[in-house]
Structure 1
Amino acid sequence: MLGVTGSTGHLGGRIARLLAAEGVQQRLVVRTPAKAPQLPGSTVVQASYADGAAVRRALEGLDTVLMVSAAEAEDRLEEHRTFVDAAAAAGVRRLVYTSFYGAAPDATFLLARDHHLTERHIERSGMVPTFLRDNLYADFFPLLAGADGVIRGPADDGRVAAVAQDDIAAAAVAVLLDPGAHAGRTYELTGPAAITLTEAAATMSRVLGRDFSFVDETLEEAYASRSAYGAADWQVAAWVSTYTAIAAGELAGVTGDVELLTGRPATSLEELLTPGG
């Protein structure tokens, strides 16, 4: 039996459904059991990342656990550390963690720094890690645009190798079906090409049949345009740093890790958006 977190979300839900289709027994660890998917061979237990005692009880007896990174929050790093410590205390031997592409202490994308610190904490825990470093989700590109179809942000003409969530899920399942073969490995999961946001907008316009465009903002404009959302300062800074990371070229690397793990090429943005593609 595998332990799987995040099954009520987009990525974790995809992974859990694929594992169920493979006949894998799963223990789905969720904050809200009523929202958990009903899958054959699965049991549901309640635990939030911040509740170490509940996490320990939920993971006892499991050898391998998928840790989907928690929802963005100011205290997410502390939640991650609590979960990791509880998993180690429960006797988990292998932890597969969904991290972020280019996770580093000085990453331009601010949340990638938290992923780096989470990786280091896992490495110190005594568990054997596998890190799946996902680039930006290509699925979310249409959501970057406002009601007018314009994507705004200080990305300049930087490129991003955004990856489809289905590709991440398939890669994660390949790892979870044979975790020993991927022990201690780090995979950088990207799309098949690095594209600018102008190119992304052109692709979305062509495939989705409505006009999209990209407008490069200054930092001052970016912070001002997001102030209307009423989000906390850390959240706004994280949003803006997504674009400055693209401008800095830190999300432009293209790898073959999706194909290495899944046996098929990574999905392009056009393929992702094309109905039946």
Structure 2
Amino acid sequence: MTTIAVTGATGSVGGAVAHLLSEAGLEQRLVVRSPDRAPQIPGAHVVQASYGDTEASDAALAGVDVLFMVSGAESAERLDQHRAFVDAAARAGVQHVVYTSFLGASPTAVFTLARDHWYTEEHIRASGMAYTFLRDSFYLDFLPMLAGEDGVIRGPAGQGRLGAVAREDVARVAAVVLQDPASHAGQTYELTGREALSIPEAIEVIREVTGRDLAYVDETVPEAYESRRVYDAPDWEVHAWVSTYTAIAQGELATVTGTVERLTGRPPLTLRELLSQQTG
């Protein structure tokens, strides 16, 4: 019997995957940093480990056949932590890793954090384990959260478009892959929504559905760095924030694929549908 381990079960994507697997009648191991926050799911066994904790990771992954690896929290150490966890999986004898990567991951991606995903993919490829990469676009759920407390979204995105994908749709794809991993071995799936919106178009949808009166300020790149100085964040984080918008402006995230519907049999949510579902 295949043993499936799911990381990130205390988060939105990992938690949704765990519930979907449970509904499919599959037992699973939930690998979490904080067991007290783990969801109570039938057929799930909770173990504690973090990506950077080698000893705990070795123990948590012992006997696991298939691993769903949700990318770790953004940090300067994330890539090193990813590599350590992949190494632990290989030592434990994991046969297949399903990893949540990022759309357009490459060593030269405009969005700086997409580079971390590329190098994580490369480490998984080199491990000898079978793999499936889910290259998610930005999450549709986060679009309303781009606005500051003043209701303004600021960034140098221009009129670039974004084919954002709902976390719910990413989870549905992951659950499909995890139930038959051999059929998806060696595949890299680009997961997007079914429309590509500009920031002003997204704001209009948010306004119509939720009533929030948002505005957009199309900053220059120097203005974007200057407006974020107030947060006193480390350089890597500021570069990530700004490159979120420059990646949109340069068209790297305008991609729209039919992958979600092809793998799950259901089209991905639009922003309007997601917001309507949330405000229901």
Shorter-chain TM-score tier: over 0.9
Structure 1: distance between partners of 2:237 and 2:277: 33
8 Å CA contact 1:188, 1:255 repeated in 2: yes
Aligned to 1:89: 91
Aligned to 1:250: 252
> Match of 1:244, as an amino acid?
T
Aligned to 2:128: 126
- Give the secondary-structure state (helix, strand or coil) at the position aligned to 1:239: helix
Match of 1:42 among 44, 62, 74: 44
Q: How many residues align?
A: 277
- Give the secondary-structure state (helix, strand or coil) at the position aligned to 2:25: coil
> Match of 2:42, as an amino acid?
P
Please state how far the C-alpha of 1:230 moved relative to its aligned partner.
Answer: 2.2
Aligned to 2:151: 149
Structure 2: distance between partners of 1:233 and 1:183: 37
Aligned to 2:57: 55
8 Å CA contact 1:202, 1:213 repeated in 2: no
Match of 2:107 among 95, 105, 108: 105
Match of 2:76 among 68, 74, 84: 74
Match of 2:34 among 32, 38, 43: 32
> Match of 1:224, as an amino acid?
E
Structure 1: distance between partners of 2:173 and 2:227: 36
Q: Identity over the aligned pairs, expressed in percent?
A: 60
The one-character-per-residue Cα deviations of 1:226-247 (angstroms, maximum 9, x if unpaired) are 1212221110110100000000
Structure 1: distance between partners of 2:232 and 2:26: 43
Structure 1: distance between partners of 2:17 and 2:146: 24
The one-character-per-residue Cα deviations of 1:48-100 (angstroms, maximum 9, x if unpaired) are 10112211111111110100000000010000000000100000000000000
Structure 2: distance between partners of 1:176 and 1:212: 39
- TM-score relative to the length of structure 1: 0.98
Please state how far the C-alpha of 1:275 moved relative to its aligned partner.
Answer: 3.4
- Give the secondary-structure state (helix, strand or coil) at the position aligned to 1:122: helix
The one-character-per-residue Cα deviations of 1:138-176 (angstroms, maximum 9, x if unpaired) are 101111012232211000110110000100000100100
Match of 1:238 among 223, 237, 240: 240
Please state how far the C-alpha of 1:261 moved relative to its aligned partner.
Answer: 1.2
Structure 2: distance between partners of 1:244 and 1:233: 16
> Match of 1:33, as an amino acid?
P
Aligned to 1:161: 163
The one-character-per-residue Cα deviations of 1:99-153 (angstroms, maximum 9, x if unpaired) are 0000001000000000000000000001001000000001011110122322110
Q: Give ranges in structure 2 of 5+ residues lacking alignment.
A: none
- Give the secondary-structure state (helix, strand or coil) at the position aligned to 2:161: coil
Structure 2: distance between partners of 1:255 and 1:128: 24
- Give the secondary-structure state (helix, strand or coil) at the position aligned to 2:144: helix
Please state how far the C-alpha of 1:213 moved relative to its aligned partner.
Answer: 2.2
8 Å CA contact 1:194, 1:254 repeated in 2: yes
Structure 2: distance between partners of 1:145 and 1:166: 22
Q: Which region of structure 1 is more displaced relative to structure 2, 218-227 or 151-160?
A: 218-227
The one-character-per-residue Cα deviations of 1:16-74 (angstroms, maximum 9, x if unpaired) are 11111211111000111111111100111111101122111111111101000000000
Root mean square deviation, CA, Å: 1.0
Match of 2:231 among 209, 212, 229: 229
Aligned to 1:215: 217
Q: Give ranges in structure 1 of 5+ residues lacking alignment.
A: none
Aligned to 1:259: 261
Please state how far the C-alpha of 1:223 moved relative to its aligned partner.
Answer: 1.1
- Give the secondary-structure state (helix, strand or coil) at the position aligned to 2:277: coil
Q: Which region of structure 1 is more displaced relative to structure 2, 76-85 or 221-230?
A: 221-230
Runs of 4+ in 1 over 3 A off after TM superposition: none
